[in-house]
């Protein structure tokens, strides 16, 4: 698997996006109790962009989000 990360930029980018999503989820949890709506919206916007990019990369491998829901 490590070889795939080193050679396939799409797989490497997916791993990066997943790490970014993990970090954003932590930041969202941090700002929820404080009701900092501006920061929360910024994080949710970034999360949506990462999810869209992830969807596009998955399509390269002929995997759709609907496929994952089954």
Domain residue ranges in the chain: 2-68
**Region of residue 35 (phi > 0: left; psi between -120 and 50: alpha; otherwise: beta):** left
pLDDT band at 3 (very low <50, low <70, confident <90, very high): low
Residue range 5-23: mean pLDDT, rounded: 92
Q: Are 33 and 14 in contact (CB under 8 A)?
A: no
Quote the longest CA-to-CA distance of the chain.
43
State yes or no: pLDDT of 1 exceeds 70.
Answer: no
pLDDT band at 7 (very low <50, low <70, confident <90, very high): confident
Residue pLDDT, tens place only, 19-37: 999 999 999 888 777 777 8
- End-to-end CA distance of the chain: give it in Å, rounded: 25
Residue range 1-6: mean pLDDT, rounded: 60
């Amino acid at each position: 698997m490590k070889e795939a990360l080193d050679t396939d930029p799409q797989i490497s980018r997916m791993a990066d996006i997943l790490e970014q999503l993990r970090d954003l989820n932590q930041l969202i949890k941090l700002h929820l109790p404080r009701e900092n709506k501006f920061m929360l919206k910024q994080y949710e916007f970034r999360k949506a962009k990462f999810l869209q990019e992830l969807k596009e990369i998955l399509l390269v491998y002929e995997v759709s989000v609907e496929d994952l829901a089954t």
